[in-house]
């Protein structure tokens, strides 16, 4: 089969590009090796299902039966995913110019792939090929890792029964989200963190606030620790952990490996197509997302960097600009990209920390308040969760916001306003004097930005 555009992997960027061009009559082939992944990682095993579970965990009361509550939450998760997957499937299936191909692709030449599906083999070529295969969980070289009690972030979403005890190996965003979620469902959670504290890239006061909230939720944090081996028992796994110079054994019905994700490029035959990869297997791209092979682009997590669905969506805009818009849009256009780790409450970030700003030689003002002390922010109190911290970093000379750390209910929404302000040059004073709805979490801007003070570390 011959196409104008061939997309390998049904992720956010790829499906959006396929729909946009397929809708104009461009002949598009969409290859996906699993029919359960139509729509991509985000709606099937990533953002949407996990945040659905996070929400339900926050609704559980102490007298709710943990197992029954978990089972209902998983069922609702599956219903949400099923509906979204169906919508995403029809988004492309109903376009006459788009051909859906189920199978695993491997390059056999530049812009030519073989797709294997069961006993069937199909050869497909195109003028433009998009590598959009995403990323997969890494598996450390750890004795006992093949135990059936060991999970990644996908399989743990359907663990049955709900583990009474859960050990999370890794304290990045995924590990902390699952730790917070399962503590909400009623599991006794321990996090194995190889660093000396949580969130080493964040200012110490923010990281300390996050650690305090997690510990208050009953989560055990083991810092400067690492898993040595996992021994499978009849009733539980024994996770042997080195903490400092000592070894400790943690028993748990389930173990989560949250040690990161790596680009899913193994077996694609990228070298055959002349596509270069780096030491981690990520596809090497330029600011236009062009690979080293003519007519081949990479979008989403497969080219490394921050792994966010909305960045994959923006990758679509960059490539679409290349194919139809004169090529003016690039990845260097991205400014003030926010991120949220969906703890309870969520931690949302954008821009520089105070320490990073000082390291750049900037003269800064900083305002920081614990949420419970912010008089002009009644929304968290009304929702029954006044935990967290709000912190802003401002350029003392220009009044521009350089960064923000919001750890409170609805932080994932407020951070988008702050990010927009950073992109448009809206000043800290303008945000401080803004008129916001009441009661809302946004109102913290009025009070907190009124407390800016010189900061030297």
In sequence order, what are the beta bridge partners of 434?
Answer: none
Confidence of residue 144 (pLDDT cuts 50, 70, 90): very high
438 is catalytic: yes
CA-nearest of 46, 255, 67, 262 to 154 is 46
pLDDT of 325: 82
Give me the percent of the chain exceeding a pLDDT of 90: 96
Residues sharing a CB contact under 8 Å with residue 116, sequence separation 6 or more, in sequence order: 103, 104, 106
Residues sharing a CB contact under 8 Å with residue 76, sequence separation 6 or more, in sequence order: 52, 56
- Please tell me whether 175 is known to bind a ligand: yes
Residue where a domain terminates, one of 310, 333, 356:
333
- Please tell me whether 119 is known to bind a ligand: no
- Reported as a single tens digit per residue, the pLDDT across 247-283 is 999 999 999 999 999 999 999 999 999 999 999 999 9
- Reported as a single tens digit per residue, the pLDDT across 313-372 is 999 999 999 999 888 999 999 999 999 999 999 999 999 999 999 999 999 999 999 999
| 366 plus 405 within the same structural domain | yes
pLDDT higher than 90, residue 307? no
pTM score of the predicted model:
0.95
- Please tell me whether 172 is known to bind a ligand: yes
- Please tell me whether 171 is known to bind a ligand: yes
d(CA 86, CA 53): 20
| 114 plus 12 within the same structural domain | yes
pLDDT higher than 90, residue 127? yes
Q: Residue 143 domain-assigned?
A: no
| 266 plus 345 within the same structural domain | no
- Please tell me whether 301 is known to bind a ligand: yes
pLDDT of 245: 87
Q: Residue 65 domain-assigned?
A: yes
- Please tell me whether 286 is known to bind a ligand: no
Q: What is the CATH number of the domain that holds 185?
A: 3.50.50.60
Residue where a domain terminates, one of 333, 362, 378:
333
Q: What is the CATH number of the domain that holds 392?
A: 3.30.390.30
DSSP string, 7-30: EES--HHHHHHHHHHHTTT--EEE
Q: Residue 141 domain-assigned?
A: no
- Please tell me whether 375 is known to bind a ligand: no
d(CA 49, CA 41): 10
| 130 plus 270 within the same structural domain | yes
d(CA 270, CA 106): 8
Domain encompassing residue 180 = 150-259
Q: Residue 142 domain-assigned?
A: no
- Please tell me whether 203 is known to bind a ligand: no
| 351 plus 380 within the same structural domain | yes
| 67 plus 17 within the same structural domain | yes
Q: Residue 312 domain-assigned?
A: yes
pLDDT of 122: 95
| 7 plus 130 within the same structural domain | yes
Query: How many distinct structural domains can be found in the chain?
Result: 3
pLDDT of 326: 85
| Cα pseudo-dihedral 236, 261, 43, 163, rounded to 10 | 10
Residue where a domain terminates, one of 234, 259, 284:
259
| 127 plus 248 within the same structural domain | no
pLDDT of 108: 97
pLDDT higher than 90, residue 457? no
- Reported as a single tens digit per residue, the pLDDT across 423-442 is 999 999 999 999 999 999 99
| 255 plus 198 within the same structural domain | yes
| 249 plus 390 within the same structural domain | no
pLDDT of 154: 96
Q: Residue 437 domain-assigned?
A: yes
- Reported as a single tens digit per residue, the pLDDT across 172-222 is 999 999 999 999 999 999 999 999 999 999 999 999 999 999 999 999 999
- Reported as a single tens digit per residue, the pLDDT across 278-293 is 999 999 999 999 999 9
pLDDT higher than 90, residue 133? yes
| 170 plus 308 within the same structural domain | no
Q: Residue 144 domain-assigned?
A: no
- Please tell me whether 110 is known to bind a ligand: no
Query: Residues 145-151: what's their mean pLDDT?
Result: 96
- Reported as a single tens digit per residue, the pLDDT across 67-100 is 999 999 999 999 999 999 999 999 999 999 999 9
pLDDT of 305: 86
Which tokens belong to 73? 């939450």
- Reported as a single tens digit per residue, the pLDDT across 375-426 is 999 999 999 999 999 999 999 999 999 999 999 999 999 999 999 999 999 9
Q: Residue 247 domain-assigned?
A: yes
User: 90, 158, 294, 438: which is the annotated catalytic residue?
Assistant: 438
Whether residue 297 contacts residue 335, with contact meaning beta carbons closer than 8 Å, is answered with no
| 303 plus 160 within the same structural domain | no
H or E, element range at 98: strand 98-102
């Amino acid at each position: 089969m011959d196409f104008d555009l061939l997309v390998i992997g049904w992720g956010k960027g790829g499906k959006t590009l396929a729909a946009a061009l397929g809708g104009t009559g461009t002949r598009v082939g969409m290859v996906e090796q699993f029919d359960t992944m139509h729509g991509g990682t985000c709606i099937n095993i990533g953002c949407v299902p996990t945040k659905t579970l996070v929400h339900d965990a926050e609704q559980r009361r102490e007298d709710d039966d943990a197992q029954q509550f978990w089972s209902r939450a998983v069922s609702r998760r599956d219903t949400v995913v099923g509906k979204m997957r169906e919508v995403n499937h029809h988004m492309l299936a109903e376009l006459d110019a788009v051909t859906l191909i189920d199978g695993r692709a491997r390059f056999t030449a530049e812009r030519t792939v073989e797709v294997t599906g069961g006993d069937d083999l199909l050869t497909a070529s195109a003028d433009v090929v998009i590598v959009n295969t995403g990323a997969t969980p890494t598996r450390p070289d750890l004795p006992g890792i093949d135990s059936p009690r060991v999970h990644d972030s996908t399989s743990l979403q359907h663990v049955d029964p709900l583990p009474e005890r859960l050990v999370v190996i890794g304290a990045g965003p995924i590990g902390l989200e699952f730790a917070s979620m399962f503590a909400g469902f009623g599991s006794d959670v321990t996090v194995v963190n190889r660093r000396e504290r949580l969130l080493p890239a964040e200012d110490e006061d923010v990281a300390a606030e996050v650690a305090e909230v997690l510990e208050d939720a009953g989560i055990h944090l083991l810092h400067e620790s690492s898993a040595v081996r996992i021994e499978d028992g009849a009733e539980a796994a024994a996770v042997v952990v080195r903490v400092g110079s000592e070894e400790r054994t943690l028993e748990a019905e389930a173990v989560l490996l949250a040690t990161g994700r790596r680009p899913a490029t193994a077996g694609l035959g990228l070298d055959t197509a002349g596509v270069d990869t780096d030491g981690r297997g990520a596809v090497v791209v330029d600011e236009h997302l062009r690979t080293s092979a003519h007519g081949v682009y990479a979008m989403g997590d497969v080219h490394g960097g921050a792994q966010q669905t909305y960045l994959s969506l923006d990758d679509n805009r960059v490539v679409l600009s290349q194919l139809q818009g004169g090529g003016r849009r690039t990845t260097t256009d991205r400014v003030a990209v926010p991120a949220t780790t969906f703890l309870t409450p969520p931690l949302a970030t954008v821009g520089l920390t105070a320490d990073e700003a000082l390291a750049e030689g900037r003269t800064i003002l900083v305002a920081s308040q614990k949420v419970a002390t912010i008089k002009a922010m009644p929304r968290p109190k009304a929702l029954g969760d006044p935990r967290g911290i709000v912190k802003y970093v401002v350029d003392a000379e220009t009044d521009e916001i350089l960064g923000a750390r919001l750890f409170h209910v609805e932080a994932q929404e407020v951070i988008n306003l702050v990010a927009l302000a950073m992109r448009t040059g809206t000043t800290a004073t303008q945000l401080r004097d803004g008129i916001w709805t009441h009661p809302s979490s946004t109102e913290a801007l009025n009070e907190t930005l009124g407390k800016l003070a010189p900061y030297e570390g």
